[in-house]
Amino acid sequence: MATGIFVKTKELTDNASALVRDVGSTNELCFITEDGKAAAVLMSINRYNALMDIVEESEHPSSEPEVRRESRERITVKGILRQSKTEMLRKNSVQAQ
């Protein structure tokens, strides 16, 4: 299940700077919607770099898996997944109360 915030294209146009700043500081995904359907995703550069590392590794597997330096310095994929899962569990527990 995707977690993140959902904004309409109009809201993106009106609040682009604030959305970029929020996404950059929280590493949360921002889904941009058109006609009620997700059309694009805005993500932090850290999250993007981690995703690209996974893609590159899958396209060019090496005998010794190596995490790219950019990911080590900025964020780990495990950290992204752990953070997303923690946020989802926290939201679900708040809703249940």
Domain boundaries, the chain: 1-43, 44-97
> What value does the mean pLDDT of the chain take?
77
Give residue 54's pLDDT. 86
Mean pLDDT of 23-38: 91
Give residue 91's pLDDT. 64
The answer, yes or no, to whether residue 10 has pLDDT greater than 80, is yes
Mean pLDDT of 6-16: 93
Give residue 58's pLDDT. 79
Query: What pTM does this model have?
Result: 0.58
The answer, yes or no, to whether residue 95 has pLDDT greater than 90, is no
Determine the residue type at 94. Answer: V
Cα gap 73→86, rounded to integer Å = 22
CATH topology for the 1-43 domain: YefM-like fold (3.40.1620)
Q: What angle do CA 85, 94, 76 make, to 5 degrees?
A: 20
